[in-house]
Amino acid sequence: MSNSPLAQLAANGVSIWLDDLSRSRIVSGGLRDLITNRSVSGVTTNPTIFAGALAKGEGYQAQVAELAAAGATAEQAIFEITTKDVADACDIFAGVYAESNGFDGRVSIEVEPGLANDTEGTVKQAKELFAKVNRENVMIKIPATQQGLSAIREMIAEGRNVNVTLIFSLSRYQEVMDAYIEGLEQRMASGSPVSGIASVASFFISRVDNEIDKRLDQLGTPAALALRGTAAVNQARLAYAAFQKTFSGPRWDALATAGASVQRPLWASTSTKNPSYPDTMYVDQLIGPDTVNTLPDATLEAFAEHGTVARTIDINIGVSRRQWAELAMNSIDVDEVAAQLEAEGVASFIKSFDELINALEDKAAGIL
């Protein structure tokens, strides 16, 4: 175990969080096994994950029948079902949470994606989710839309844990870190403790390469084609440099002295979509302390089998800066790409939420 690639990855400062959750994993003991045998120290969820779990899983029938008999709406039923799974997962990871002094053992649940551009609605549901799960180690996922930034700041100021999701650009990432720090400063100014509050900033990886590679292919020049497969890792490495700069210096030191924890960067969407790229590319190349990598099953098992471990997050940073600048020289507007990916990400999760409703209704129809 101690010599496995996943154990070595964890020893190099990368928290391994599973990008999946289902009731069958919970009741079968499979989730607990991943803690023991795969060094998994947390879980993230989203509407797509729950839609798949509900459509395929058999462990939901009793609760669905109970909710249907009580006259619950589909949205109310989804709230009850997903918060139960997350609460149960939080209990399974309670030992990891305690042993790591709250550093890990976190389980994330996302606000409804239709609220992505509604600050007030996001805050309201985030508080409801936090109260319903009622576990210290829960994190509420809030998208990093412009409207989401205010919700993030408010949640942190009130002492709630936040997983900021759907980050696609360096400029938005800086705004996310600033919102976290401002929330902590507001909290400290009110006389409330800043210790014990956790947050991660989920930077999406493979989707960046997918879109930028398409545009480079359309250009078709040797200079453009030479940049294929570089954008996502380079941007993540530049994000890590921004993380190191932001969480240092007098402003941060005042919060750290009061017990505040850094908001760790989390690498999301780390399965490779291009079959010509190595299947562990977005793990191997982003290894460094104070980071989280969320892995779906296939990527987790691939890394367990043939992953390589070395600190890579801040190597050749000069090359990353140069290649990132070369994208603009090749007419790639990275800010426009990020805006497109954010809009597509929100739309995709809204579609998955609709599929979650349909899966629930199908499950209920099969029972009643």
For residue range 1-45, what is the model confidence (pLDDT) as tens digits?
467 999 999 999 999 999 999 999 999 999 999 999 999 999 999
368 is a domain residue = no
pLDDT of residue 51 exceeding 80, the answer is yes
User: What's the whole-number average pLDDT of the chain?
Assistant: 95
Give the tens place of pLDDT for each residue, 279-326: 999 999 999 999 999 999 999 999 999 999 999 999 999 999 999 999
Alpha carbon distances (Å) from 87 to 94, 137, 215, 252, 346: 10, 9, 42, 32, 25
Domain that holds residue 144: 5-362
Assign 367 a pLDDT band (cuts: 50, 70, 90): low
Give the tens place of pLDDT for each residue, 227-236: 999 999 999 9
- Per-residue pLDDT at 363: 74
AA identity, residue 171 = S
Residues in contact with 56: Cβ distance below 8 Å, sequence separation at least 6, in sequence order: 22
Q: Greater confidence, 52 or 209?
A: 209
137 is a domain residue = yes
Percentage of the residues of the chain whose pLDDT score is greater than 90? 91
41 is a domain residue = yes
Domain at 301, CATH number: 3.20.20.70
pLDDT of residue 359 exceeding 90, the answer is no
36 is a domain residue = yes
Q: Residue range 180-195: average pLDDT?
A: 98
- Per-residue pLDDT at 2: 60
296 is a domain residue = yes
367 is a domain residue = no
Q: Residue range 95-111: average pLDDT?
A: 97
Assign 239 a pLDDT band (cuts: 50, 70, 90): very high
72 is a domain residue = yes
Number of domains into which the chain is organized: 1
Pinpoint the alpha helices (H) of 93-197: 94-99, 119-133, 146-157, 170-189
Q: Residue range 96-125: average pLDDT?
A: 97
- Per-residue pLDDT at 1: 43
**pTM for this structure?**
0.96
- Per-residue pLDDT at 366: 63
49 is a domain residue = yes
Residues annotated catalytic, as ranges: 141
User: What is the rounded distance in angstroms from the CA atom of residue 159 to the CA atom of residue 273?
Assistant: 37
Q: Greater confidence, 56 or 159?
A: 159
